[in-house]
Structure 1
Amino acid sequence: MNNFLVLIPARAGSQRLPDKNLRNLEGKPLIGYSIEYAKENDFEDIVITSNDPRVLDYAVKRRVQTVERPDALAGDEEPVFTAIQHAVSQLQKQYDAVILLQPTNPLRPKGLLKEAIAIFEQEACDSLMTVSRNEHKLGTISNNRFTPYNYKMGQRSQDLEPLYYENGLLYIFKTELLKEGKLLGEKNYPLIVDHPFAEIDIDTEADFKKAELYMKYFK
Structure 2
Amino acid sequence: MSITAAIIPARGGSKGVPRKNLRPVGGVPLVARAVHAAQAAGIDLVVVSTDDDEIAAVAAEAGARIVPRPAEIAGDTATSESAVLHALDALATDGLDIDVVAFLQATSPFIPGEGLRDAVAAVRAGRYDSVFSAFESYGFLWRQTADGTAEGVNHAASHRPRRQDREPHFLETGAFYVFDADGFRAARHRFFGRIGIAPVPERTAIEIDDPEQLAVASALAPLVDAPARIPARAVVTDFDGVHTDDTALIDQEGHELVRVSRSDGMGASLLRRAGIPLLILSTETNPVVRARAAKLQAPVRHGVTDKAAALRDWAGQLGIALADIAYLGNDVNDLPAMVLVGWPVAVADAHPQVRARARVVLERTGGSGAVRELVDRVLAD
TM-score (norm 2): 0.53
Counterpart in the other structure of 1:11: 11
Query: d(CA) in 1 for partners of 2:53 and 2:161?
Result: 51
Query: d(CA) in 1 for partners of 2:140 and 2:210?
Result: 21
How big is the alpha-carbon RMSD for the aligned residues of Structure 1 and Structure 2?
2.0
Amino acid at match of 1:203: D
Query: d(CA) in 2 for partners of 1:6 and 1:110?
Result: 12
Q: More displaced, 118-127 or 81-90?
A: 118-127
Unaligned stretches of 5+ residues in structure 2: 227-381
Query: d(CA) in 1 for partners of 2:135 and 2:62?
Result: 32
Q: More displaced, 168-177 or 123-132?
A: 123-132
**1:149 lines up with 2:153 in the alignment:** yes
Unaligned stretches of 5+ residues in structure 1: none
What's the CA shift for 1:123? 4.3
Counterpart in the other structure of 1:171: 177
Q: More displaced, 108-117 or 31-40?
A: 108-117
**Matches of residues 61-140 of structure 1 in structure 2 within 5 Å?**
61-91=61-91, 92=94, 93-134=96-137, 135-140=139-144
User: Residue 77 and residue 138 in structure 1: after superposition, are their counterparts in 2 closer, same or farther (change >3 A)?
Assistant: same
Query: d(CA) in 2 for partners of 1:115 and 1:194?
Result: 14
Query: d(CA) in 1 for partners of 2:81 and 2:148?
Result: 37
Q: More displaced, 131-140 or 207-216?
A: 131-140
Q: More displaced, 105-114 or 10-19?
A: 105-114
Deviations 1:24-61 (A, max 9, x none): 21211111111111222333411110111110122233
What's the CA shift for 1:64? 2.0
Higher relative contact order (CA 8 A, sep 6+): 1
User: Residue 121 and residue 87 in structure 1: after superposition, are their counterparts in 2 closer, same or farther (change >3 A)?
Assistant: closer
Indicate the SS of the match to 1:196. helix
Matched positions, count: 218
Counterpart in the other structure of 1:189: 196
Moved over 4 A (4+): none
Amino acid at match of 2:132: M
User: Residue 2 and residue 94 in structure 1: after superposition, are their counterparts in 2 closer, same or farther (change >3 A)?
Assistant: closer
Amino acid at match of 1:99: A
What's the CA shift for 1:156? 4.6
Amino acid at match of 1:204: D
Query: d(CA) in 2 for partners of 1:194 and 1:86?
Result: 31
Amino acid at match of 2:154: N
What's the CA shift for 1:145? 1.9
Query: d(CA) in 1 for partners of 2:62 and 2:75?
Result: 26
Q: Calculate percent identity across the aligned residue pairs.
A: 25
Query: d(CA) in 2 for partners of 1:121 and 1:43?
Result: 12
Higher-Rg structure is 2
